[in-house]
Chain A
Amino acid sequence: MTAHALASADAPASAAALATNSLDLPTLRFITCGSVDDGKSTLIGRLLFERRLIPDDLLATLRRDSLRHGTDGDNIDYALLVDGLEAEREQGITIDVAWRYFATPTRSFMVADTPGHEQYTRNMATGASQADCAVVLVDARKGVSRQTRRHAAIVALMGVRHVILAVNKIDLVAYDAAVFHAIAAEFTAFATRLGLEGVVALPLAARFGDNMSARGERLGWFDGPTLIEALERVSITSTMVPLPFRMWVQWVNRPDLNFRGLAGTIASGSIGVGDSVVMAPSGASAKIRRIHTADGDLTRATTGDAVSLVLDHEIDAARGDLVSMPESRPQVADQFAAHLIWMSADKLLPGRSYLMKIGSRLVPTSVTAIRRRIDVDTLEPLAAATLDLNEIGVCNLSTSVPISFDAYADNHATGAFILIDRETNVTAAAGMIDFALRRATNVHRQALVINKAERATLKGQKPLILWFTGLSGSGKSTIANLVEARLHAMSAHTTLLDGDNMRHGLNRNLGFTNADRVENIRRVGEVAKLMLEAGVIALCSFISPFKADRDMVRALVEPGEFIEIYVETSLEACIARDTKGLYKRALAGQIKNFTGIDQPYEAPEAAELVLTTEGASAEALADRVIDYVLAHGMRG
């Protein structure tokens, strides 16, 4: 009956008729979001059904599936049209985003159905990052919940400009106008605090089609738009001032000696032949000679065009560079404040090295401070030492080299980034840059008259960092001391940084939690780098259990300067040796966070040297290190 009736008079006459966009209608990208079970998937399934986009064979399948998995008795469960994963159908919830496409006579739509479940918030953010508009659903019986507020906060943070509030399941409160108005007022007040203007609120019964394509009698009291009308009215064309020209160099297109093009997609603004452009961060400039595409050269290219820019003369340009015009350059900095939405089950560790991908650029970066965490219920700032899965914070970040960017509020294409965990490769966070903390363009490093190479020349050696890593008691310090003695005998200038010694001085305020271990290694890395710059061979002997931290030190110096030496001894052998009696205490539970016992050791995958200690003498192993140093040009 009602559930199966086609509510709409203007629905297209034939199935696929308006799945297509042959009319070249403007496209609106939107998401459905809100708390678990509020009816997001039902809404989209019902919408597709009402647009007659469900072919007969799929409708037959849906009827069958509804009996098996449906949450709605014998009636059609429209959510099953979008909840396509087996796990989703079995549990009756959405886990990941589904993308769907439909059109009305005036507009084409790309919609992402997102999960309401808190555990899958990152999948909701995936949808939000693509959207111009968000339909936030609220169950009329339950009202605005914590998850509604969290989604609204993410929508605001990601700069989704238009919000439609759909008060759903209005049938379950007897189509009561008062309930609708109360929820609309509460949500609108919260949205205003988030800076979301012009929320359009409407009542809905998605399951029955009330106020979807057509009003329906039971909502006769409502004088606002139907859902379709509201979606058709959202303005797509941006009223903002045109953005300056930006293009990330994706790939240098160099098929032969006669052609060198900077391939990329215009991220914002437009560019014409003859225009001057500058590369960031290098600052090199040139003029556009050609704008190549496979369909012939263009005289102008605008936002969204995939092109290859040919310059009038060769300049240094590579993947990751940002092309702009000299009068409207991006900012260049290595420290900035940004909002982060944390998406990994492993907590954010300040000081740890992550990879930042911004445009086509990939750079090591670390969070230097968490300025505040945002409570999604109250929007109050809270102090925080870390960010957990699904938490939102404002952080200071520092990149290993300066990057070019704009504030996210000014330009999404140059202000958005992701953080990648270097160990697991998971996408750990979504980031939006707020502002530069220190402009690399103003605060230059003090130029030094004498440089590293000159200091090294005087010493007649090539400075190196010899980084010994391995379990406690694996033999790092023993071997490092032997190596240093030999180098010294060969008149090399050396120093030895040892974990225990550093913890008595520079690092005495640090403990052994994950976060403190990261900071320990960061400081040691900086000290080793200073030694290197002084022309010295720095031997470093640290358990350094985390691969990401060792890689962070490696990234501080030039290729070939950081020599990772894995002192490989089995845990059993270390426990048997137990020279300091520490394993005994750790095993007895008297020492917490002990590597190998209750904290992992991540063995190097690509160490320059692996020294297997069992069955070899420390002297022989030290010789191998010396051989390596001699072979790699100790006499610089």
Chain B
Amino acid sequence: MPALSRHLRALESEAIFIMRETVAEFAHPVMLYSIGKDSSVMLHVALKAFSPGRLPFPLLHVDTTWKFREMIAFRDAVAARHELKMIVHINQQGLERGVSPITSGSSVHTHVMKTEGLRQALDQHQFDAAFGGARRDEEKSRAKERIFSHRSSAHAWDPRNQRPELWNLFNTRIKRGESMRVFPLSNWTEADVWDYIAAENIAVPDLYLAKPRPVVWRDGTWIMVDDERLPLLPGENPEIKMVRFRTLGCYPLTGAVPSTATTLPEIIAEMRSSSVSERQGRLIDADETGSMEKKKREGYF
């Protein structure tokens, strides 16, 4: 295993510091686990931060029931391998109402199954701090967010009135019912994440690697036909293409990119020469400009 570069070591140490600070100052922390590469890195760093002990908090996956099947299998394998306490929350009311990305559209589906689901789970378990794997380089409103990001009792983010965050002296004080979102990977870039995954040999879902997969061309991107729930529109014929994913989410909302990168080094090389952004494949972000900020103000991660 190659030794970590100074740069990655510094990012890792910073994340460990943030995680320990959270565990020391909050009564009921939880780690949001979304199965993607950022969650994988965050979990890996957390296991280091509390070594030789076990993780002093559970993981929470808000399952929209539309994730790639491979993601769910990967999640369960990770939980078993590290003997993690993995809470899986599904918004049952949403399911009963028949909300889905197919019938309700991306923004309603995401709001109900992800944002509302997350709020339900946080309330139900009374978590006062929740780790998220968001990075500042992902999106323009995330570039503005604090590492310790305050949420009102309604889980709302007030971007115009964030607490100053001076030095590494995090103000973790909250009132009853309020909570904190904590982003230990704030200062990592997409490239840092992949370099770290390679250097530390961290397992990530195969979906990140190119493979022949059944896809259809829709809304300007390649959508994978992951199960029989995806209704095909007139003229759509699933074809098998070599594709991979740059981010992972609900399969009908996550665009694949044609690629031949089947190994980590190839992914890294491909990403370095790419001229589109990481989130471009996400249909949910494209809804409207500023939509990420809007979702975050409502309690999305």
Asked if A299 is at the interface (CB within 8 A of a chain B CB), the reply is no
CB neighbours (8 Å) of A293 from chain B are: 48, 51
How far is the CB of A11 from the nearest CB of chain B, in Å?
A: 14
Q: Which residues of chain A are near B275, meaning CB under 8 Å?
A: 14-15, 55-56
Does A622 make an interface contact (CB < 8 A)? Answer: no
Given that A85-B159, A357-B171 are contacting pairs, would A294 and B274 also be in contact in the complex, using a CB cutoff of 8 Å? no
The distance from the CB of A120 to the nearest CB of chain B, in whole angstroms, is 9
Q: What are the residues of chain B within 8 A of A412 when measuring CB–CB?
A: 167
Chain A CB count within 10 A is highest, among B6, B159, B164, B189, for B164
Residues A99 and B186 in contact, CB atoms below 8 Å apart: yes
Question: When A304-B13, A360-B21 are in contact, do A19 and B191 touch as well, CB less than 8 Å?
Answer: yes
- Which of B47, B50, B189 contacts A101, CB < 8 Å? B189
Q: Mark B250-276, 1 if CB is under 8 A from A, else 0.
A: 000000000000000000100111111
The number of chain A residues with a CB under 8 A from chain B is: 75
Partner-contacting stretch, out of A167-175, A215-223, A255-263, A560-568: A255-263
Docked complex Cα distance between A617 and B137 (Å): 64
> How many angstroms from the CA of A256 to the CA of B53 in the assembled complex?
8
Alpha-carbon gap, A413 to B163, bound state (A): 20
Known contacts A22-B195, A84-B141; A99/B167 CB under 8 A: no
Per-position binary interface string of chain A over residues 407-437, scored 1 when its CB falls under 8 Å from any chain B CB and 0 otherwise: 0000011001110100001110010000000
> Chain A residues near B195 (CB, 8 Å)?
20, 22
Residues A425 and B136 in contact, CB atoms below 8 Å apart: no
Q: Is the CB of A427 within 8 A of B171?
A: yes
Q: Is B293 an interface residue when CB atoms closer than 8 A count as contact?
A: yes
Q: Tell me which residues across on chain A come within 8 A of B233, comparing CB atoms.
A: none
**A156–B159 CA distance with the chains assembled, in angstroms:** 28
Q: Complex: how many Å from CA A265 to CA B49? A: 11
Given A14-B272, A96-B144, A425-B175: A255 and B166 within 8 A (CB)?
Answer: no
Q: A16-B274, A430-B164 are in contact. Are A27 and B290 (CB under 8 A)?
A: no
Contacting B at CB under 8 A, from A241-259, are 250-251, 253-256, 259
A122 to B146, CA, bound (A): 13
Determine whether B140 belongs to the interface, using a CB cutoff of 8 Å to chain A.
yes
Interface residue B229 (Cβ < 8 Å from any Cβ of A): no
Kindly identify, within residues 1 to 58 of chain B, every residue whose CB is under 8 Å from any CB belonging to chain A: 5-7, 9-10, 12-13, 16-17, 20-21, 23-24, 47-54
Distance (Å) between the CB of B30 and the closest chain A CB? Answer: 17
CA distance A122 to B274 in the complex (A): 37
Tell me which residues from 14 to 54 in chain A have a Cβ below 8 Å from any Cβ of chain B. 14-17, 19-22, 24-25, 27
- Asked if residues A24 and B24 are in contact (CB atoms below 8 Å), the reply is no
Can you list, as one digit per residue, whether each of B193-206 has a CB less than 8 Å from chain A (1) or not (0)?
A: 00100000000000
Most buried by B among A89, A123, A264, A294: A294
B162 at the interface (CB under 8 A from A): yes
Contact residues in B for A265 (Cβ distance below 8 Å): 13, 16-17
B276 & A57 in contact (Cβ 8 Å cutoff): yes
A360 touches B24 (CB 8 A): yes
By secondary structure, the A interface counts as: mixed
- With A15-B275, A95-B160 as contacts: A57 and B17 at CB distance below 8 Å: no
Tell whether, in the assembled complex, residue A416 and residue B169 are in contact, meaning their CB atoms are under 8 Å apart.
yes
- The answer to whether residues A16 and B51 also contact, given A55-B280, A265-B17, A416-B169 and a CB cut-off of 8 A, is no
Once bound together, how far apart are the Cα atoms of A110 and B192, in whole Å? Answer: 13
Contact check, A16 vs B13: say whether CB atoms are below 8 A apart. Answer: no
> With an 8 A cutoff between CB atoms, is B103 at the interface?
no
* Distance A341 CA – B10 CA, assembled complex (angstroms): 29
Give the number of residue pairs across the A-B interface with Cβ within 8 Å: 183
A87 at the interface (CB under 8 A from B): yes
Give the chain B neighbours of A81 by CB distance below 8 A: 140
Are A22 and B191 neighbours in the complex by a CB distance under 8 Å? Answer: yes
How far apart sit A125 and B136, CA to CA, in the bound complex (Å)? Answer: 19
- Asked if B92 CB lies within 8 Å of chain A CBs, one says no
A250 / chain B contacts, CB cutoff of 8 Å: 17, 20-21, 24
Chain A positions within 8 Å of B124 at CB level: none
A287 on the interface (CB 8 Å rule)? Answer: no
Question: Are A294 and B51 in contact, with the CB atoms below 8 A?
Answer: yes
A533-577: CB near B (< 8 Å → 1, else 0) gives 000000000000000000000000000000000000000000000
Report Cα–Cα, A22/B51, bound state, in Å: 27
B143 sits at the interface (CB 8 A): yes
Most A Cβ at <10 Å: residue of B5, B6, B140, B163 = B140
Q: Are B274 and A292 in contact (CB under 8 A)?
A: no
Query: Judging by beta carbons under 8 Å apart, are B13 and A251 in contact?
Result: no
Nearest residue (CB) in A for B142 is: A84
Interface residue? B287 (CB, 8 A): no
Q: Which residues of chain A (415-463) have a CB below 8 Å from chain B?
A: 416-418, 420, 425-427, 430
Chain B residues whose CB sits within 8 angstroms of the CB of A308 once the complex forms: 51
Q: Which of A24, A84, A97, A357 contacts B7 (CB 8 A)?
A: A24
Which chain B residues border A292 with CB–CB below 8 Å? Answer: 51-52
For A21, the closest partner residue in chain B by CB is B7
A316 within 8 A of B: no
> Which of A101, A251, A295 sits near B24, CB closer than 8 Å?
A251
Instruction: Choose from B47, B187, B276 the contact partner of A56 (Cβ within 8 Å).
Output: B276
Judge whether B164 and A122 touch: CB under 8 Å.
yes
The answer to whether residues A418 and B171 also contact, given A24-B7, A55-B277 and a CB cut-off of 8 A, is yes
> Is there an interface contact between A17 and B272, defined as CB atoms closer than 8 Å?
yes
> CB distance A61 to B289 under 8 Å?
yes
Cα distance A58–B285 when bound, in Å?
12
Specify which chain B residues have a CB less than 8 angstroms from the CB of A487 in the assembled complex: none
* Residues of chain A within 8 A of B16, CB atoms compared: 265, 306
Encode A76-88 as 1/0 by CB contact (under 8 A) with B.
0000011011110
User: B189's contact among A20, A89, A96, A256, by CB below 8 Å, is which?
Assistant: A20
A15 touches B274 (CB 8 A): yes
**Chain B positions within 8 Å of A184 at CB level:** none
Contacts of A129 in B (CB 8 A): 166-167
A7 at the interface (CB under 8 A from B): no
B165 within 8 A of A: yes
Contact with A along B132-158 (1 / 0, CB 8 A): 000011011111100000000000000
Residue B116 lies at the interface, judged by CB distance under 8 Å to chain A: no
**A95 to B144 CA separation, bound complex (whole angstroms):** 9
Find the B residue at minimum CB distance from A256: B53
A498 close to B (CB within 8 Å) = no
Are A16 and B190 CB-contacts (below 8 A) given A84-B143, A357-B169?
A: yes
* Interface assignment of A271: CB less than 8 Å from any CB of chain B: no
Task: Please name all residues of chain A whose beta carbon is closer than 8 Å to the beta carbon of B143 when the two chains form the complex.
Answer: 82, 84, 98-100
B82 within 8 A of A: no
With a cutoff of 8 Å between Cβ atoms, the chain B residues found around residue A417 in the complex are 169
Contact with B along A147-169 (1 / 0, CB 8 A): 00000000000000000000000
B69 within 8 A of A: no
Interface residue? B242 (CB, 8 A): no
* A20 and B192 contacting across the interface, CB-CB below 8 Å: yes
Q: Is the CB of B23 within 8 A of A251?
A: yes
Given contacts A126-B165, A126-B166, A427-B171, contact A16 B7 (CB under 8 A): no
Give the complex CA separation of A89 and B141 in angstroms: 11
Distance between Cα atoms of A357 and B281 in the complex (Å):
42
What B residues does A255 contact at CB under 8 A?
50, 52-54
- Which residues from B are CB-within-8-Å of A95? 159-160
- Please tell me if B85 contacts chain A, counting CB pairs below 8 Å: no
Q: Which residues of B contact A264 (CB under 8 A)?
A: 20
B173 within 8 A of A: yes
Q: In whole angstroms, what is the CA distance A254 to B54 when docked?
A: 10
Q: List 5 A-B contacts (CB under 8 A).
A: A21-B191, A24-B7, A96-B162, A129-B167, A306-B16
Given A22-B191, A426-B163, 6 more pairs with CB closer than 8 A: A19-B137, A86-B290, A251-B23, A355-B173, A425-B171, A425-B174
**Pairs A-B, 6 closest by C-beta atoms:** A255-B53, A84-B140, A20-B191, A294-B48, A294-B51, A306-B16
Q: List the interface of chain B (C-beta within 8 A of A).
A: 5-7, 9-10, 12-13, 16-17, 20-21, 23-24, 47-54, 136-137, 139-144, 159-160, 162-167, 169, 171, 173-175, 186-187, 189-192, 195, 268, 271-277, 280, 289-290, 293-294
